[in-house]
Structure 1
């Protein structure tokens, strides 16, 4: 990792330009301000889905997305809860990554659920996969009910206020530099 922090957003909603994308972008921008990050890359998997079907023969766009994920310092992985889990589209992306390939990457999962009964389902399925990839998961997932999307800015601000110092410290430690805690 260089002195510059990169944030990459991966959105696993099969609908292009989804509310999941909006939520993930908002969260990533807030995290980037806390770190601070030098660049943020947004990857909406809906636009490159066919290129992910064969991990041994990725399309050019899919290969670039995988490279961006592997180079990320901070990865915001966003998915709606879909059939009681995270989406198959996000799984396609994760299946392109070798075991342990996220061992120096701080991952912040973002889960959008239809309601309170579903809010933990995708998270329960996603975390073991991220563990296999070696992801660093120092903070809880950002869980967002569809009914709360209207309050997205406030929810993101609250999450970053609570978790920003931890994210900054862990990213700094992985980079071998001391972290500066955000002002509260």
Structure 2
């Protein structure tokens, strides 16, 4: 099983990246094979044909399980993540990929954002999303039990789909 983390935070090395990596490790039982901190792809995201962006797209499309993560910006996922997702073909760009949408925010007001906003885009691109998304409070995710609770409840379903 190839596991990848995609973090769409405008700040490199963000809490979003950390939370996504923690979730991927908890669900799969090991460190991810690949980590894509989207902001590091730079201006290549603004067009088509950039070799680094193409390599990142190929990595994601060739993965079995991908955690797609974003902070909550203006009640939705970031433009940086949107630019990356635009690189995938509609319908089958994420074919055979099991995706987990993850979003972080300052408070519980946007707790449905992963399912209402990020998950539909992943499905439109062909991903399978058998579990609900996860929303974490960015100031407490390292101390609370939300990742462990999610993993206990949903890792068996994710692994069953991957089998």
TM category (shorter chain) comes to over 0.9
Q: Taking structure 1 as reference, are residues 53 and 62 closer, same or farther at Cα in structure 2, changes over 3 Å only?
A: same
Q: Is the 8 A contact 2:45 2:53 kept in 1?
A: yes
Q: What's the RMSD between the two structures over aligned residues?
A: 1.6
User: How far off its partner does 1:129 sit?
Assistant: 1.2
CA distance in structure 1 between the partners assigned to 2:142 and 2:34 by the alignment:
24
CA distance in structure 1 between the partners assigned to 2:138 and 2:117 by the alignment:
19
- Structure 1's unaligned 5+ residue stretches are 173-184
1:5-84 alignment to 2 at 5 Å? 5-33=1-29, 40-54=33-47, 56-58=48-50, 60-84=51-75
- Provide the secondary structure at the position in 1 that maps to 2:69: strand
Question: Which structure has the bigger radius of gyration?
Answer: 1
Which runs of at least 4 in structure 1 moved beyond 4 Å after TM superposition? none
User: How far off its partner does 1:43 sit?
Assistant: 0.4
CA distance in structure 1 between the partners assigned to 2:137 and 2:40 by the alignment:
24
- Structure 2's unaligned 5+ residue stretches are none
The answer to whether structure 1 residue 171 and structure 2 residue 153 are counterparts is: no
Alignment correspondent of 1:177 = none
Q: Deviations over 1:30-65 (max 9, x none)?
A: 1221xx78x5210001111311110x222x221111
- Provide the secondary structure at the position in 2 that maps to 1:76: strand
Alignment correspondent of 2:87 = 96
2:101 pairs with 103, 109, 114, which one? 109
1:112-123 alignment to 2 at 5 Å? 112-123=104-115
User: How far off its partner does 1:130 sit?
Assistant: 1.3
TM-score by length of structure 1 reads 0.82
CA distance in structure 2 between the partners assigned to 1:123 and 1:17 by the alignment:
24
CA distance in structure 2 between the partners assigned to 1:168 and 1:131 by the alignment:
18
TM-score by length of structure 2 reads 0.92
CA distance in structure 2 between the partners assigned to 1:160 and 1:66 by the alignment:
26
- Count of residue pairs the alignment pairs up: 162
